Structure 1
Amino acid sequence: MTTSMYNASSKFKKFYDEHVVLSASEQTNLREKKDINIERLKSGLVEYNADNKTTYELKDHKVQGSMAMSTIVQNDENEYDIDVAIIFNKDNLPVGNIATKKMIADALKRKCKRFKTEPEAKTNCVRVEYADGYHIDFAVYRKSQDENGNNLFEHCGSDWRRRDPEVITNWFNNSNKENNGDVRVVVRLLKMFCKSRSGWSMPGGLIQSVLVEECIDSKDRMDETFYYTMLKIRDRLEDNKEVYNPTDIETSLLLNAKDHQKVKNLHTRLKSYISKLDVLFNIDCTENDAFSAWKEFFNHNFWGDLVSESAENKAILSKRMYGDYSVDIITMVEWNPGDYIPINEVLGPIPKGKSIRFTAKPNFFQFNKVEWEVKNEGDECLEMDDLGHLSEGVSVTENTAYRGIHKMICRVYQDGVIVCEDYVRIQIK
């Protein structure tokens, strides 16, 4: 072993610049969606007030979360969330947190009539969801003043709780500046890792940001800064899996059992996947070894394209060995009861609870068995101990049950020998 890590910094920075950082045009698109929906809310409140003889008025709004901290990363499924604090005067809101969120949802529904899903009041926000994956979370705040004239803010969650809508953003931006921008860089890269397998159930952006800020280990190179910070987060979680609000150290950010499990999942994944980077410290580590290791870690085609013989290339070569035999897989989704549509007509991931019919279409007739293998991936199927199964038939039907990207493999046999195979990937949300 050598004490230095293989220097892949030029390619690592290219990966970061081209595949991690959100483009300026996409950032503009997100801001425009935010502005449009603020105007919808204002207009909807006018109608709501006229119908209900009320005078509710939006006093201010502030961008929050990953958009305010500039840590949103690229996402092939356009699953971008935009967090916006909407602020009202305390004495100009309905009585009760539930009534307040219902009023906001009602106002938005009046101006979001073409949406596939109506604006919905959730525990901590009112959500506006676009069909193409974007969603805007309106966090509702009420503003008042104490006896000294200082502004007080309360967030509308399961109850009204004291919270400043800008305090987290200010904490993050100040810490990032003190660390020469490294905190933001590593948070973005950690987010890419956490979303690298769709079946993973991982902590949200704030928890990731807190862990990175706490464990940041700046080096001269971006790849080293990321690697050594991940080591520190792994070891930190080995000792303590609790995560507290950085601006209120007596308040945990883990609100329920699911939050605690997500942090455990992050620790497990870091232990497993950091070990796959050990090759970077071998004295005879080659460029190909390094790119393969980062491909294994991030599960991103950028690294796969740099590897001379990637797993994808091996699959293609294996398929060619079958010669002229091939099979097409016709995949249909029961979108409505009794109504099947081709999977390529479904925009985005398939919801749970749907039936999918797979039909094999070999390019030859002399076959005597068609075998199907389901391969499930993700935390939900692991919890249910259901990683897959086999079935037979020219056509089979499966149900969508677990979040993640799963694989359906079709193998065609002739005289007991596999003569061709193919597969389709199914993404379930």
Structure 2
Amino acid sequence: MSTSMYNASAKFNAFYNDHVVLRATDQTELKEKKDLNIDRLVSGLAEYNEEHKTKHTLIDHKIQGSMAMSTIVQNEENEYDIDVAIIFNKDDLPDGTIATKNIIVDALERKCKRFKTEPEAKTNCVRVEYASGYHIDFAVYRKSTDEDGNDVYEHCGSAWRNRDPEVITKWFNDSNTDSNGNIRKVVRLLKMFCKSRSGWSMPGGLIQSVLAEECIQSKDRIDETFYYTIKAIRDRLEDNKEVYNPKDSDSSLLLNAKDHQKVKNLHTRLTNYISKLDVLFKDDCTENQAFSAWKDFFNHSYWGELITETAENRIMLAKSYGGYTVEIVAQVEWNPGEFIPLNEVLGPIPKDKYIQFTAIPSFFDFSKVEWEVVNDGDECVEEKDLGHFKEGISVREHTAYRGVHKMICRVYRQGNIVCEDYVRVQIK
């Protein structure tokens, strides 16, 4: 093994700029949604105040979270979140946190029509959710002045707690500047990894940001910076899976068992998928192998498209991909001896069923049919659970793990892959 890593930085930079960083049009759309809902809140509060003879007046608002830290990444499902601190004078709000959040819900309900769900009071915010996948979290703050004339901010959660609405944003932006911008790059790339499989349940952006800031390994190349930082995060989580607020070392960011499990999931996924990058350190690592390794890691079509463009594959394609195809027939054994075509099953497949996959190539002189089972979901915790290979025209698989999985069929002729196809299988 070599001590130097295969240099894929040019393609890695293109991946980062074109497929990771949120597009300017999407950034503008998020800002417009934020502004629109602030206007709705102000208008709804005016109606509420007039009706109830109150004076709940918004005095300021501040962007928080991934939008403020500029770490939102492209997401095909548009599951973007916008975090906004809405600030009131302390004397203008009731003492109770539930009563305060209910006022915000009432004001928004007056102006938020035809939404996926009604505005909803959560423990730490009031949420407005769009049918397209966006959601906006309004974190409520009250402002007062202490005896020395300093501004004091309190956040409306299960109780009122002292919290500066901008302290985390300032911490992140200062740390990122000190790292020459590398922390933000790593966080964006780590988010892409954490979002790469639909069945995964992974920590939120703040926890990822804290881990990246703790473990940042700045190198000359972006691919090396990312690799060595996630390796350090993996090793850090091996020793300690607790994550604390970066501005309050006594305050854990893991509030319940689910949060702790998500951090364990991150450690497991990093352990499994970093090992797939070992090929990058082989002396004879080829361009095709490097792109394949990053494709396995990020599960993104960008890397797959690069593989088909490499010189060695262009030669193979020119010789062997002339019109060869394969059709996959998949049938679910719903009851013993009773088969239903997979595409006729409504919704996810239950566990403990068997699926028969049959390959029908468009030609007869093939030499081998290979199947690759690619498993996803948080029940696939061990390396052995993530997938395996089989050979044969027809194979049988058991639905064992919740998540969205893939069955890939590759047909060989004269030692080369001449065609492939796949089917997705969702298991509940």
TM-score interval, smaller chain: 0.7 to 0.9
**Structure 1 counterpart of 2:256:** 256
Report the TM-score when normalising by structure 2.
Answer: 0.78
Cα distance change on mapping 1:318 and 1:2 into 2, 3 Å = farther
**Structure 1 counterpart of 2:245:** 245
What is the Cα deviation at residue 96 of structure 1? 0.7
CA distance in 2, matches of 1:322, 1:379: 30
What is the Cα deviation at residue 83 of structure 1? 0.3
Cα distance change on mapping 1:76 and 1:319 into 2, 3 Å = farther
**Structure 2 counterpart of 1:41:** 41
CA distance in 2, matches of 1:321, 1:170: 55
- The one-letter code sitting in structure 1 at the alignment partner of 2:298 is F
What is the Cα deviation at residue 160 of structure 1? 1.3
**Structure 1 counterpart of 2:291:** 291
- The one-letter code sitting in structure 2 at the alignment partner of 1:320 is T
Give the fraction of aligned pairs with identical amino acids, expressed as a percent: 70
What is the Cα deviation at residue 108 of structure 1? 0.3
User: Structure 1: any 5+ residue segments left out of the alignment?
Assistant: 335-349, 354-362, 364-373, 389-400, 410-420
Residues 78-106 of structure 1, C-alpha deviations (whole Å, 9 max, x = no match): 00000000001111112311111111011
Match of 1:320 among 317, 322, 325: 325
What is the Cα deviation at residue 205 of structure 1? 0.3
**Secondary structure of the corresponding residue to residue 25 of structure 1:** helix
Cα distance change on mapping 1:317 and 1:292 into 2, 3 Å = farther
Runs of 4+ in 1 over 2 A off after TM superposition: 316-323, 325-334, 374-377, 380-383, 404-409, 421-428
**Structure 2 counterpart of 1:202:** 202
Residue 236 (structure 1) aligned with residue 241 (structure 2): no
**Structure 1 counterpart of 2:369:** none
- The one-letter code sitting in structure 2 at the alignment partner of 1:253 is L
- The one-letter code sitting in structure 2 at the alignment partner of 1:69 is M
Residues 269-304 of structure 1, C-alpha deviations (whole Å, 9 max, x = no match): 111100100000000000000000000000100001
> Superposition RMSD on alpha carbons, in Å?
3.5
Moved more, 80-89 or 107-116: 107-116
Native 8 Å contact 1:244 1:250 kept in 2: yes
Native 8 Å contact 1:329 1:423 kept in 2: no
CA distance in 1, matches of 2:230, 2:33: 34
What is the Cα deviation at residue 198 of structure 1? 1.3
**Structure 2 counterpart of 1:417:** none
Cα distance change on mapping 1:213 and 1:381 into 2, 3 Å = closer
CA distance in 2, matches of 1:267, 1:140: 33
Native 8 Å contact 1:64 1:84 kept in 2: yes
CA distance in 1, matches of 2:124, 2:425: 34
CA distance in 2, matches of 1:387, 1:175: 36
Residue 112 (structure 1) aligned with residue 117 (structure 2): no
Residue 98 (structure 1) aligned with residue 103 (structure 2): no
Cα distance change on mapping 1:105 and 1:387 into 2, 3 Å = farther
What is the Cα deviation at residue 307 of structure 1? 1.4
What is the Cα deviation at residue 332 of structure 1? 7.5
Residue 83 (structure 1) aligned with residue 83 (structure 2): yes
Native 8 Å contact 1:154 1:162 kept in 2: yes
**Structure 2 counterpart of 1:214:** 214
What is the Cα deviation at residue 25 of structure 1? 1.1
Cα distance change on mapping 1:124 and 1:161 into 2, 3 Å = same
CA distance in 1, matches of 2:323, 2:249: 55
- The one-letter code sitting in structure 2 at the alignment partner of 1:72 is I
User: Structure 2: any 5+ residue segments left out of the alignment?
Assistant: 332-340, 351-359, 361-372, 388-400, 409-420
Report the TM-score when normalising by structure 1.
Answer: 0.78
CA distance in 2, matches of 1:11, 1:242: 35
CA distance in 2, matches of 1:2, 1:274: 16
Count of aligned pairs: 368
- The one-letter code sitting in structure 1 at the alignment partner of 2:279 is V
